Structure 1
Amino acid sequence: MAVCARLCGVGAARGCRRRQQRRGPAETAAADSEPDTDPEEELIEAGAAGLSAGPAPPPRLSLLELPPELLVEIFASLPGTDLSSLARVCTRFRRILHTDTIWRRRCREEYGVCEDARGLEVAGVSCRDVYAKLLHRYRHILGLWQPDIGPYGGLLNVVVDGLFIVGWMYLPPHDPHVDDPMRFKPLFRIHLMERKAATVECMYGHRGPHSGHIQIMKKDEFSTKCSQTDHHRMPGGRQEEFRTWLREEWGRTLEDIFHEHMQELILMKFIYTSQYDNCLTYRRIYLPPSRPDDLIPPGLFKGTYGSHGLELVMLSFHGGRALGTKVTGDPNIPAGQQTVEVDLAHRIQLPDVEQQRSFSELSRLVQGVQEQLRQQGAPAAAQSPHQPMEPPAKDPVEPGGAAAPSSQAQPFVLPVGVSSRKEDYPRSYRACFYGTGLIAGHGFTSPEHTPGVFVLFDDDRFGFIWLELKSFSLYSRVRVAFRHAEAPSPQAFEDMLKNIQSLTS
């Protein structure tokens, strides 16, 4: 009753009709028998009461007394998830909430939809339908995801694109062009063809959109399924599909590949990615949070991995350590594993250019850091990657535990005998640190953390020298503004890292 009284503007006044209707006959007769009061006396008594009690309170207003255009403006500023409760208050509110202006603003402010309303009218779809049956229903799949494709992983970004929700698969550029922009293609889309329900379409294959299905199993996991896999087939069969995929994925033909080992790896990846044909599961990933004392802005990077081509790595900072976690992987080191770990407390000062060409000199510098760690009784490779290591007091470090990089660029050259897929790597660096790189046999057998050197070139490029493999990997920042990809908290990001690593351990 109290809520109803506030909304309707009715209180416990003597003139309340409902209360009068509830009176019994005796109460009504008694009230009717009361002597009438002179209006002048009422005014005098009211004035005297006002003088003794102070100024009269302002009259209480009700939302129901506001004009409809003002109610529309108020309701449009509320979150869309609250409007369903508001519609249950009364018939007038429910009628006003059918105004499309309210839902057009909610679609724009919450999901970035800025479509012309006339286009919706032609399709017979309202902004209210778009919000309730498309955006709100599939809100849990917006963001970054990693597909479960054996050891290979991947990167899917689900976004609102106009009046569609589209799942874009992002692919590294062709090997070894690590500085080139990312490639992307749609895997599925969801839209409203009519007022009844949203339609899911599979975009995989070469014959255009066709029927698909999405199942949201829980908040951080969903699956896709194609209902018409015949649309994925090509007239020339699997051989033509493989050659087409090879040109698109690797930028080369089968005749360009001479090494049998590489042919085997490429064929294996093709077989795994053919899982797009039927059903695939995706698990949520977040971009790493940024802090003022980070060595460089964290994020996603493209990296060269020898015969495995280019792979995606997520660089994140954890106190005195930096981690490179694979978003895409290979049969040796699968997606989800930490490919490199960098000890930011132990900086390595490289010699002049001529001595840098000596592999034995670089090995000597790294062995010196290893000896320091051995004497401290805390080898870097044996530490938990999620627990920052306190830096030694003798090392110059910033407040966050990371050694401050040099403000001036210094010349850099790879040692003789160290191979690099990218020949035109940067020839100057800002800082070098001791680190370990993860290597393993085919099938992630006998994994081992081996020593290496992390080389920081600038805010957008770094490298890693794998001493045991005598190889060099160059990493370049992914310049894509991914939407809905921020972690809700630092702890949520840490939990995500542990989760994706445990799936491949």
Structure 2
Amino acid sequence: MSALMLDQLPEIVLLRIMQFCSAEDLVSLQSTCKRIHDLSGCDVLWKTLCVRDFGIDDIGTTAINSFHTLYTNLLFKYGYMLGLYQSQVGPLGGLLEVRYQKGVIEGVSWEPSSMEDVSAPLKEYLYFSVSGYEAGQPQCFPGLDSHTCTLSIDKDRGIITQLCSKKASHSTDSSGMDFLHLNLDPRKVRQIFLSDTIRKGLEHHPLIIPSPSSIPSSLLNKDHSIPRQIFAPGLFQGSYSSHGLETILFTFKDENEMLGIKVTGDTNVFASKATVKLLLRYPVAPSITEQKSLKDLKNMEPSRTDAPIHDIVEQPFVVPEDCYERSTMTHPSKCMARYHGLGQIAAAWYHGSRFIPIQVVVFNNDLIGVLWLKLASFSLLSRIKQTFTQNVLKNSRGALHEFGYKF
């Protein structure tokens, strides 16, 4: 029996083989013969590629008439940008999601909608968009003084560079501004830094959020569930005095320590710097009387224990009477656990940075508190529960690895 040539295979077999091809390979196959050329344009095939390569199974618009058009006009060039990023906006950073919506890829900055309410949902601001209708040119800040920009991605590092073609549109004169004494709204400060950054080329670095599976197994319950005395890693929104609300990524460094790292920062402690270190082997359980006095809390010496985390018992909680509370959200009157820790402070422009003693309070999986003993203040941090687009490029190291955090 003679061997079959490729173009002699049944159509269903050919299509199955083609599903394993890259888009570049399919384009090459189109030039081999008319039968394969016709099959390689099958929209069911291109839908498979859209799902496999970018997780998109619904075009979501009538303006794009096929998955083939969606892939070739839009996703092939810009689809690898889909995911979550930390924008490099001076010392302030930023949280950016690149998403697909109805024929358009959008870069959306997620920012606090409140200055004090840590439970308030984030608010979106459009940084860029590119349409797949006619292989459109990327638009910089659509809806304002919309103009073109260029978008490129380094696939090895996952870094997007957004370069504006009309730099004067972002010009904000900050010459002679004294950020320390003008008492500017945090949003105004961000606008100034963004204006300066985007005119030089704004970079967005991939932000990889650890999953609950990254929790050290030695901390889990026997049934592999998460003890109520700790919380799963993820993004939180926390109150930072006059700086407003900031976004913090919590992750486990190891079985002894959790790290809170700033995705967005301020002019004192910059984005990408550690803000909180929670010491899991140093729990503390002050009495109500001790909790009311900041002096008594300061005098508590950390004591290490190797007892299992789940042995920590629920305890009452009050904020010291001589302590400033930085959130409008009401905290619970009981907590699941309380730990000694370290918090980073600094003078303006990250001068004289140092870690000071703090206590970290775990109310539940979605709410924690930070008692800044030396600053006589209490901050609440609430989990950001929003679901973001997952990064298409899985192998990029992530923004925080650039700064030496190896999780």
Q: In the alignment, does 2:369 pair up with 1:466?
A: no
Q: Distance in 2 between matches of 1:497 and 1:229?
A: 28
SS of 2:138's equivalent in the other structure is: strand
Identify the match of residue 44 of structure 2 among 86, 93, 101. Answer: 101
- 1:132 equivalent in structure 2: 72
1:90-489 aligned at under 5 Å gives the runs: 90-111=33-54, 112-115=56-59, 119-121=63-65, 126-194=66-134, 197-204=135-142, 206-207=144-145, 209-217=146-154, 219=156, 220-228=158-166, 262-263=183-184, 267-275=188-196, 278=199, 279-291=201-213, 293=220, 295-319=230-254, 320-351=256-287, 353-365=288-300, 368-369=301-302, 372=303, 394-397=305-308, 403-404=309-310, 406=312, 409-423=314-328, 424-485=330-391, 488=394
Amino acid of the structure 2 residue aligned with 1:131: Y
Indicate conservation of the 8 Å contact 1:288/1:316, yes or no. Answer: yes
Runs of 5+ consecutive residues of structure 1 not aligned to the other structure: 1-8, 12-60, 240-258, 373-391, 398-402
Whole-angstrom CA distance in 2 between matches of 1:469 and 1:86: 67
Q: What letter is aligned with 1:396?
A: A
Uncovered stretches (5+) of structure 2, i.e. residues with no partner: 175-179, 221-225
Measured after TM superposition, the shift of residue 217 of structure 1 is: 4.5
Within 1, Cα distance between the matches of 2:404 and 2:120? 28
Give the partner amino acid of 2:337.
Answer: A
Q: CA deviation at 1:95?
A: 2.9
- Offset from partner CA, 1:83-114 (integer Å, 9 cap, x none): 34654665532331022231133224543141
Report the Cα offset of residue 409 of structure 1.
3.9
Asked whether the 8 Å contact 2:59–2:70 carries over to 1, the reply is no
Q: Please state whether the residue corresponding to 2:115 is helix, strand or coil.
A: coil
For residue 307 of structure 2, give the secondary structure of its aligned residue in structure 1: coil
Distance 1:206 1:128 in 2: 32
Equivalent position amino acid for 2:204 in 1: Y
Indicate the percent of aligned positions where both proteins have the same amino acid: 28
Deviations 1:344-371 (A, max 9, x none): 11111121x2331111221122xx11xx
Moved more, 91-100 or 266-275: 266-275
1:43 corresponds to: none
**Higher RCO (C-alpha under 8 Å, 6+ residues apart):** 2
Report the CA distance shift for 1:86/1:486 in structure 2 as closer, same or farther (over 3 A): closer
On the 8 A contact 1:356/1:413 being kept in 2, the answer is yes
Q: CA RMSD in A?
A: 3.1
CA contact (8 A) 2:60 2:102 kept: no
Q: Deviations over 1:421-451 (max 9, x none)?
A: 2252222111011100001100100111111
Task: Return the alpha-carbon distance in structure 2 between the equivalents of residues 275 and 204 of structure 1.
Answer: 19
Against the structure 1 CA distance between its residues 269 and 189, is the aligned structure 2 distance closer, same or farther, given a 3 Å change threshold? Answer: closer
Tell me, yes or no, if the aligned pair for 1:100 and 1:127 is still in contact at 8 Å: yes
Residue number in structure 2 paired with 1:10: 2
| Paired residue type of 1:104 | K
**Counterpart code for 2:400:** L
- Whether contact under 8 Å (2:81, 2:391) holds in the other structure is no
Count of residues paired in the alignment: 382
Query: Does the CA contact (< 8 Å) of 1:464 and 1:474 recur in 2?
Result: yes
Alpha-carbon shift at residue 285 of structure 1 (Å): 1.8
Task: Give the TM-score normalised by structure 2.
Answer: 0.83
CA pair 447-215 structure 1, distance change in 2 beyond 3 A: same
Q: Matches of 1:232 and 1:117 in 2, distance apart?
A: 32
1:301 Cα deviation from its structure 2 partner:
0.2
Q: After alignment, is 132-141 or 82-91 more displaced?
A: 82-91
Query: How many angstroms apart in 2 are the aligned matches of 1:285 and 1:202?
Result: 22
Separation in structure 1 between the aligned mates of residue 131 and residue 57 of structure 2, nearest angstrom:
13
Cα separation, 1, equivalents of 2:311 and 2:400: 27
